[in-house]
């Protein structure tokens, strides 16, 4: 049951990352500003309170805070990584770090045990994600600072997922979800200390630059669409984590990068003014090999 739910969640997340890159590259210059908009609205999870959300007990509040705050900072560092590199490389690399870190943490903290075939599947998916991360673009050749931010982000996502899984094992899904997402809103309050965030909130319409690109013209609609898709994706993935293995669900992020790579190829060819990335022939070959590995690794989870 968890597999199709996770698959749907990663498809929506792929769409979200494409829209994130459009906004970060053409509309919002500072990732910290976009982090504010991405996290402050997480407080809206509290509106689910009348649906039967329970209060946590004792140290479980600490786990909720760790999960929510780690998730917020993971988004921030991922936006910084995507801003400085190509989405088709940064996100898969980030996913590989998330997969490896989650497996290590869940084994140590949650005593999760997987079958030998599932462990091989995780290794295959992590390898596929790393293959998708080799960047040879107009701005970079090989490893760069964007990958450092992606490593930090991956570690934080792993901490968030594993601590959320701990709560899902103790409480109903809605309770764990609300408290681990609402606490992400605290990151939105924290980044208000940055002048660029406060300036963005004070900016009036007549002070903004006249739209010159499709992304700038429709930035409001793109942000709204991104947030809606992001919420759907997070709910589906977190629910899959709650009913399945956190290691397996996060390992399936490789499927997200397959969807994202195909979407990037589509936009680059048919709508380059909206979204465009540079690929060498070697990169394309590596990414097709990685797509095959993703499919093979995913099959190992359902056999």
The model's pLDDT over 153-211, given as tens digits with 9 standing for 90+, comes to: 999 999 999 999 999 999 999 999 999 999 999 999 999 998 888 887 776 444 444 34
**What's the mean pLDDT in 257-285?**
75
- What pLDDT score was predicted for residue 141? 62
In the chain, the percentage of residues whose pLDDT exceeds 90 is 31
Dump pLDDT digits (tens) for 78-135. 988 888 777 667 877 888 888 888 988 998 889 888 888 888 888 887 887 777 666 6
- Cβ-based neighbours of 289, under 8 Å, separated by 6 or more: 131
Q: Say if residues 294 and 125 touch (Cβ distance below 8 Å).
A: yes
pLDDT category at 143 given cuts 50, 70, 90 is: low
* Alpha-carbon span 299 to 293, nearest angstrom: 10
* Alpha-carbon span 232 to 100, nearest angstrom: 25
- What pLDDT score was predicted for residue 122? 82
- What pLDDT score was predicted for residue 220? 66
**What's the mean pLDDT in 8-23?**
81
* Alpha-carbon span 39 to 17, nearest angstrom: 15
* Alpha-carbon span 213 to 23, nearest angstrom: 11
**What's the mean pLDDT in 247-252?**
84
Counting every residue written for the chain, the total comes to 303
For residue 226, what are the CA distances in angstroms to 134, 148, 204, 233, 280?
Answer: 26, 25, 23, 10, 29
- What pLDDT score was predicted for residue 210? 35
- What pLDDT score was predicted for residue 27? 47
Is it the case that residue 64 has pLDDT exceeding 60? yes
User: 3-state DSSP helix/strand/coil percent for the chain, to nearest 5?
Assistant: 80, 0, 20
Is it the case that residue 253 has pLDDT exceeding 80? no
Q: Say if residues 160 and 67 touch (Cβ distance below 8 Å).
A: yes
In what helix (H) or strand (E) does residue 22 lie, and over which residues does it extend? helix 2-26
3-class secondary structure, 212? coil
Rg of the chain on CA atoms, in Å: 19
Q: What is the pLDDT of the chain when averaged over all its residues?
A: 82
Alpha-carbon 203 to chain mean position:
28
Q: 50 burial class (0-12, 13-18, 19+ CB within 10 angstroms)?
A: exposed
Strand partners, 136: 141
The sign one gets for the Cα dihedral 267, 289, 17, 12 is positive
pLDDT category at 248 given cuts 50, 70, 90 is: confident
3-class secondary structure, 136? strand
């Amino acid at each position: 049951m968890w597999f199709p739910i996770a698959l749907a969640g990663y498809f929506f997340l792929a769409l979200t990352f494409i829209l994130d890159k459009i906004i970060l590259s053409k509309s919002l210059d500072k990732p910290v500003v976009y982090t504010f908009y991405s996290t402050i609205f997480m407080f809206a999870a509290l509106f689910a309170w009348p649906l039967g959300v329970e209060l946590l007990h004792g140290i479980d509040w600490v786990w909720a805070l760790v999960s929510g705050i780690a998730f917020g900072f993971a988004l921030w560092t991922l936006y910084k990584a995507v801003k400085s590199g190509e989405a088709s490389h940064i996100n898969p690399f980030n996913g590989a770090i998330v997969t490896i870190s989650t497996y290590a943490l869940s084994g140590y903290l949650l005593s999760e045990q997987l079958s030998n075939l599932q462990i091989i599947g995780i290794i295959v998916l992590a390898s596929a994600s790393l293959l998708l991360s080799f960047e040879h673009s107009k701005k970079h050749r090989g490893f760069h600072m964007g990958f450092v931010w992606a490593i930090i982000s991956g570690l934080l996502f792993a901490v968030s997922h594993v601590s959320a899984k701990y709560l899902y094992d103790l409480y109903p899904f809605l309770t764990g979800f609300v408290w681990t997402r609402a606490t992400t809103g605290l990151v939105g309050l924290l980044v208000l200390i940055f002048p660029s965030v406060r300036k963005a909130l004070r900016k009036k319409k007549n002070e903004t630059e006249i739209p010159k690109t499709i992304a700038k013209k429709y930035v409001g609609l793109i942000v709204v669409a991104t947030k809606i898709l992001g919420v759907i994706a997070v709910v589906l993935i977190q629910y899959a984590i709650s009913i399945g293995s956190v290691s397996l669900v996060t390992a399936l992020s490789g499927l997200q990068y397959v969807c994202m790579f195909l979407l990037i190829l589509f936009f680059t060819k048919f709508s380059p003014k909206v979204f465009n990335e540079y690929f060498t022939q070697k990169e394309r070959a590596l990414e097709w090999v990685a797509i095959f590995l993703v499919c093979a690794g995913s099959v190992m989870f359902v056999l």
